[in-house]
Structure 1
């Protein structure tokens, strides 16, 4: 029964409800709903109540392909373009620093294990894959893996994928807490002085009826369709332009019209979509599958962990040196490790609507930059 799409979808809805309820009515109110839904998704997947990464479901693919981009669209409808001027350059600067931290992390991690024994002839390719995925998300990982045909090495490839999923979920939890912790250790002046940030309530409340809901869903579905169609049409002409960037552009244009701004429902649909996405991120945190890899499971997990820890340490140190906004540091890191969708989710979770657009732009940059850096690292190590 657990492989039935309607059952899986129902459980995901329940996890969203449960995380909201627990955060509102229990001692867990000090934990954000975004953090709790990841944890609940991981628990349910690891005890077998919903499929995990290795038993993936079409529902999960649907969430990644449709729901995550839809969350970006809906939340962008509330974005003020003035925020880009204030936070855009600091975010991109932090993102570039995070990319440098990732490359350093790969080099350090390789030297902490006997990588020739663990990865064999695939060591350089896997280093490139990890550089790519921790620069801007899993699309880069897959691009490098396909080129070097690492997917043919079943056990090693599975082990790296599972370790990546686990670390990505854990890093989301860490970056959710990072701004609060670092603000206590090294307060950032802009936050301390109370500059105007959009600190809206965590639970979005909107008066929405069937007509408004249908209009908002029509806008979202139409934009997803047009974005995919245009990306495919441009690809046929030899032009590579990610559909997520087209979607972002359309959403930003629509967001400037008062008629669109007046339609309720965007915040509600955006946050609900984010929670569904994060529940699936948690479900991909599969501990059992990593243990099934065998003797090298610990080495693979250690290798993956060290890459992210070095990346995080380098970025936090940079934040201390440049006296950065800790929310920008956390979101930039998440754009590196998880990509645009998780960066957006984090920006929304820490109540920084002014950083939503910069987060998406950083994540989109990573989607392109990560593949190039991945091939660069793999080529240099293999030279």
Structure 2
């Protein structure tokens, strides 16, 4: 029964429902749905309700091969690069500086631990994953993990995700205090342009019809087939470009079309695909393997913390020299570390309506840029 594909999918869908419900209606709202769905997946797998890593399943292989890339593709369809000029030069400068700080942080943090003992042969891939996720969010993290098969190292993969969630949550709190503290150190006049950010709020509840759903899924099917064909053709002439990178590029190109941007359902399909993928990641976390990684838990947390610490020191240090607006610095840092949603939340917390749209757009830039930077770092460290 537990090996039945329909049963496995039913359980996985139930885990997604449970994680969302618990995060909305219980004290677990302080835990992200992404982390909770991994934990629930690990629990049911270790109770032998669904297959674990050692048992595996064709369902899991299909989700890794198709659903995970779908999550990346659909989420990137919301990246409108044409509007980035509206973010203003100060926000873009701060964001780029934060990205540079992230890359420096990854390299320094990796050498601060015994990375081969902690991450094994996957150290370069994990460095790339952390570069991606701390440049603009988890879509970049997943894209690099998929290419290097890091997700099959279920416990290490989950350990990095848990550390990421902890550090990101802490950094959200720290970011809220940056303008207050730095304003005392070096005051900066805050100019509110009066831009009504509410007009640019993301749609929380997308309404999608069968025709729109068919079109959205059809676009993805064509895109993934095309990326696989192109990647295979390039590899035959010695150009080993990951198909997931080609898929990312296709998504970014399509996202610049107004018609594509107006299609409802991309965000919903992307988030659902992410949760389904993470539920399977949780199923790969067997208790025996969790015990094995326990001794490395502090190293993983140290590695993650150092990345964000070095990122912040670099960004704040340069911002002091260029006399940046501290609210912009904090929001740009959140766009790096947490993505568009946390950057938006920070702008709203600061009551800076003029920075709401730039926060979203900076986060969108990170979603597009992070995958490329992550692959660059992974390739350099792995060479």
TM-score (norm: length of structure 1): 0.71
Q: 1:58 to 1:305 in 2, by over 3 A?
A: farther
Say whether residues 1:133 and 2:133 are aligned partners. no
Alignment of 1:48-59 (within 5 A): 48-59=48-59
Q: Please list the CA deviations of residues 59-81 of structure 1 after superposition, one character each: whole Å capped at 9, or x if unmatched.
A: 33332321222122222222221
Specify the alignment match of 1:4 in structure 2.
4
> Which blocks of at least 5 consecutive residues in structure 2 are unaligned?
130-140, 181-187, 320-325, 345-358
Cα offset for 1:140?
7.6
**In 1, distance between residues paired with 2:148 and 2:205?**
43
Q: Please list the CA deviations of residues 124-175 of structure 1 after superposition, one character each: whole Å capped at 9, or x if unmatched.
A: x9677424412336998999999xxxxxxxxxxx9xx455223222034225
**In 1, distance between residues paired with 2:128 and 2:244?**
17
**In 2, distance between residues paired with 1:255 and 1:314?**
33
Q: Is the 8 Å Cα contact of residues 175 and 330 (structure 1) preserved in structure 2?
A: no
Say whether residues 1:233 and 2:226 are aligned partners. no
**In 1, distance between residues paired with 2:300 and 2:162?**
12
**In 1, distance between residues paired with 2:342 and 2:306?**
24
Specify the alignment match of 1:342 in structure 2.
none
Aligned-residue CA RMSD in angstroms? 3.9
Q: 1:175 to 1:9 in 2, by over 3 A?
A: farther
Q: 1:221 to 1:327 in 2, by over 3 A?
A: farther
Give the counterpart of 1:98 among 98, 102, 126.
102
Q: 1:285 to 1:101 in 2, by over 3 A?
A: farther
**In 1, distance between residues paired with 2:226 and 2:279?**
27
Say whether residues 1:167 and 2:171 are aligned partners. no
Q: 1:176 to 1:140 in 2, by over 3 A?
A: closer
Say whether residues 1:307 and 2:303 are aligned partners. yes
Cα offset for 1:32?
4.3
**In 2, distance between residues paired with 1:88 and 1:59?**
42
Q: Is the 8 Å Cα contact of residues 35 and 176 (structure 1) preserved in structure 2?
A: no
Q: Is the 8 Å Cα contact of residues 15 and 40 (structure 1) preserved in structure 2?
A: yes
Alignment of 1:207-218 (within 5 A): 207-218=207-218
Q: Please list the CA deviations of residues 245-293 of structure 1 after superposition, one character each: whole Å capped at 9, or x if unmatched.
A: 32233223323333333332222212211222233344444443142x4
**In 2, distance between residues paired with 1:215 and 1:142?**
25
Q: Please list the CA deviations of residues 191-223 of structure 1 after superposition, one character each: whole Å capped at 9, or x if unmatched.
A: 99697485435xx32232222211111111111
**In 1, distance between residues paired with 2:296 and 2:216?**
44
SS in structure 2 at match of 1:208: coil
Specify the alignment match of 1:369 in structure 2.
377
Q: Is the 8 Å Cα contact of residues 74 and 266 (structure 1) preserved in structure 2?
A: yes
Q: 1:140 to 1:126 in 2, by over 3 A?
A: farther
Cα offset for 1:28?
3.8
Alignment of 1:48-127 (within 5 A): 48-82=48-82, 84=84, 86=87, 90-110=94-114
Specify the alignment match of 1:14 in structure 2.
14
Q: 1:78 to 1:102 in 2, by over 3 A?
A: closer
Q: Is the 8 Å Cα contact of residues 335 and 343 (structure 2) preserved in structure 1?
A: no
Say whether residues 1:200 and 2:193 are aligned partners. no
Cα offset for 1:358?
2.0
Alignment of 1:276-287 (within 5 A): 276-287=276-287
**In 2, distance between residues paired with 1:45 and 1:370?**
31
TM-score (norm: length of structure 2): 0.71
Cα offset for 1:226?
0.8
> Which blocks of at least 5 consecutive residues in structure 1 are unaligned?
116-121, 147-157, 335-345, 376-383
Specify the alignment match of 1:379 in structure 2.
none
Specify the alignment match of 1:359 in structure 2.
367
